[in-house]
Amino acid sequence: MINSMTAFARAQAEQDGLTLSWELRSVNHRYLETQFRMPELLRPQEFPLREILRKHLKRGKIDCTLRVERAEGQPAMGLNRPLLLEVLAVIEQVKRDAPEMGPVNPMDLLRWPGILGDSLRMDDTSITQRVGELFEEALSQLIAHRAREGAGLNQAICQRLDEIDTIVMRVQALMADNAGSAQVKLQQRLAELDIKADPDRLEQEIALLVQRADVAEELDRLTIHVEEARGNLKAKGPHGRRLDFLTQELNREANTLGAKSSMAETSQKAVDLKVVIEQIREQVQNVE
């Protein structure tokens, strides 16, 4: 079964006075490209999270956003008391060595790097562990969404492959009477010109016209490519690049069919074929 590259997932949880929420967005891309937006204190987790994501996804542009919000009523500022005590102890030691030093301004202490900060520590083990668990939960939702979208794409592509089969069978039926049609047209043309042709020469010309308009090889290759596409849809992924290549091959055969067509109806069928193949190509752009 195929997977889509377009999906969205969101997972949210409360932990130690914080509201944690992951949002994962996935769109189509030629390769796997990931982008993480998260608080700097949690940035060390980015690499292991990238590795988790790469184990499950093969293609697509994935935007991963972690939002951390303080619960209502939580103070915005916090005092790093252990660091403050260390700084005060150093100051007392300096005072013993330099008694003439004046009193320390409390505001100067608060300006010391690390004394004041966010009242909630996001680098606690419980927070980092919950962030990882929540990411895997959101990733599972994203994978499930991509699978559901992929099921729809699979159905749409299979329907259009069936349409190609129908068009091929119709062209085969038209070409079955190609020799008779060529003979009638050539005789009508000779009658219009009031020319009597040698029967052997006429037979040779008809054979030549039929040979030039023979599209049996193109129809066979169309059938082969369609069966290959069906097999690819049932195989283990990723599928996107292979299906994209097959649509190019299908389009090449459709172009040749149109160029060799000697009847208006087969020319129309070649156009119909190209329309269906283009519809497949559009769907394939979202396949992982």
Q: Per residue in 214-270, pLDDT tens?
A: 677 888 999 999 999 999 999 887 899 999 999 999 999 999 888 877 777 888 999
C-alpha distances in angstroms, 204 versus 155, 170, 179, 196? Answer: 48, 27, 11, 15
The pLDDT score that the predictor gives to residue 122 is 56
Judge if 94 and 194 occupy the same domain. no
Judge if 223 and 250 occupy the same domain. yes
Judge if 237 and 257 occupy the same domain. yes
pLDDT for 35 beyond 70: yes
Q: In terms of residue numbers, what domain contains 211? A: 150-284
Judge if 280 and 154 occupy the same domain. yes
The pLDDT score that the predictor gives to residue 176 is 67
Residue at 99: amino acid letter? P
Considering the domain boundaries, does residue 219 fall inside one?
A: yes
What separation, in Å, do the N-terminal and C-terminal C-alpha atoms of the chain show? 11
> CA–CA separation, 261 vs 240, rounded Å?
31
pLDDT for 72 beyond 90: no
Cβ contact 123:42 at 8 Å: yes
pLDDT per residue over 119-157, tens digit each? 555 556 788 899 999 999 999 999 999 999 999 999 999
Judge if 27 and 130 occupy the same domain. yes
